[in-house]
Structure 1
């Protein structure tokens, strides 16, 4: 996933117990737990002459997590991974000291028909002592993720620990990511269910917080760790995320994240010099922005 300039609409506002904004980061809150970037991709359509074709681009110092509601994306990277992600599955690539990858519409969907694509692409900062680790890739099929019904809603634990459950997706610091689909209205009480900072993305529908109705396309961040309560409307789709904040500030430039700005400068020089590892049998190259 390539972040072209990190241009995020900044509409943060304070409604009492929560900050409200669009996506992450926004002006009043740069990180939630270890999460540094959240991109709501779509919903959009792909089809003849309009496919996902993101060529080779680099990352350092983070894990990228892809979770789709609709569509498919083929991931290939410089450590040899080649994985098509389908709805409900998880792709987690840990860049560490440096990795290159591509994201493309699979050949099986380049058949002249039109398909929907919709999901989230997320960056999770690595703990300082792991920022230079060897790159890794992990894929979890939909069936491997914990799922349960509770309070008029269906829950899926995508990553980390929450609600007394643990996802098989490996994490390197305390965190959680949970999908919630409400069939009927209910009160979502996260007290004692998650640990750390709490973010709520409203994918569809709406919630009520501090007497304010917050519509889809927005994100809330609780100002109180470990505990928040919101009223969820019927037919609402949420993504919960967060965890323990990392102790150090994170610097971000393009697709590089690090607690040490020198590591980012080094990565910039390496990419320009074409000194990053490459994806096998792929000659694409995305230029670094100025």
Structure 2
């Protein structure tokens, strides 16, 4: 999804081991491991006249991870993919040297029936040496992802490695993304289970961290791998993500990510001149923002 609506909140507060913010990037923390952008979509009621139609737009230097909690979306791209995603499944698109894609409400759901759309659109930067690999697309069904329970907490390893398990999503650097839902109060163990920087999106409910109570709608960014104790209250839903950071800085402009500003300038001109590959039988075009 395009980040046309990206808002970077200026506020963030320090609560010991964590910075609390809304989304990344924000001022004090531009990335969490290789994760460079997170857009929380919804929950939004999709209805007649308000269907999702994200027209053709480009990416370079990153992988996109789409994870729906509610609702369905159809992804089409310039390498020929036409893939519907349902809640709990993963769409993983590797942009590499350049790809164009769209995301739309499925045709069979454009019948006037209202439904909720709720999910996360995530960008994961590629390692410097892989920034210009050919684009790829992978769909991983929900039943293929590692799922387990522990004392009333339900875990799903969406991508990467954690808690002794490995997701089949073909990532390119050490990272993790885990969905956790609780029925009871649950103390989350992180030390020894995950490696790298750590972020927590609170989708629903409340967590306790470093003596602070943080409610849904916020994101926590850990400043240390050995963070303070985290307690999830009952009926809480979080997304845990992060991993090993890259040694090089990443630059971002619109939908382009790179270690080299010149590559971003080249991509901007290519998009302006309509030299990017196209999605078949789609004439839409999102102009480069000025």
TM-score by length of 1: 0.98
Unaligned runs of 5+ in 1: none
Aligned to 2:88: 88
Contact 1:157 1:179 in 2 (8 A): yes
Aligned to 2:107: 107
How many positions carry a matched residue from both structures? 290
Distance 2:92 2:169 in 1: 8
CA, structure 1 residues 167+226, in 2 after alignment: closer, same or farther (shift >3 Å)? farther
Aligned to 1:19: 19
TM-score by length of 2: 0.98
CA, structure 1 residues 66+112, in 2 after alignment: closer, same or farther (shift >3 Å)? same
Contact 2:17 2:227 in 1 (8 A): no
Aligned to 1:169: 169
Post-superposition Cα deviations, 1:40-99, rounded to whole Å, max 9, x if no partner, equal: 100011111110001000000000000001000000000000000000000000000000
Q: Would you identify which runs of 4 or more consecutive aligned residues in structure 1 move more than 4 Å?
A: none
Shift of 1:152: 2.0
> Pairwise mapping of residues 37-76 of structure 1 onto structure 2 (< 5 A)?
37-76=37-76
Contact 1:5 1:254 in 2 (8 A): no
Q: Does structure 1 residue 252 correspond to structure 2 residue 228?
A: no
Q: Does structure 1 residue 274 correspond to structure 2 residue 274?
A: yes
Shift of 1:226: 5.3
Contact 2:162 2:193 in 1 (8 A): yes
Shift of 1:227: 4.7
Contact 1:5 1:289 in 2 (8 A): no
Contact 1:192 1:227 in 2 (8 A): no
Q: Could you say what secondary structure the match of 2:26 adopts? A: coil
- The alignment's C-alpha RMSD in Å is 0.9
CA, structure 1 residues 5+182, in 2 after alignment: closer, same or farther (shift >3 Å)? closer
Aligned to 1:2: 2
Unaligned runs of 5+ in 2: none
Distance 2:131 2:194 in 1: 25
Distance 2:167 2:20 in 1: 28
Q: Could you say what secondary structure the match of 2:275 adopts? A: coil
Distance 1:114 1:10 in 2: 35
Q: Could you say what secondary structure the match of 1:172 adopts? A: coil
Aligned to 2:200: 200
Contact 1:201 1:239 in 2 (8 A): yes
Aligned to 1:224: 224
Distance 1:240 1:226 in 2: 15
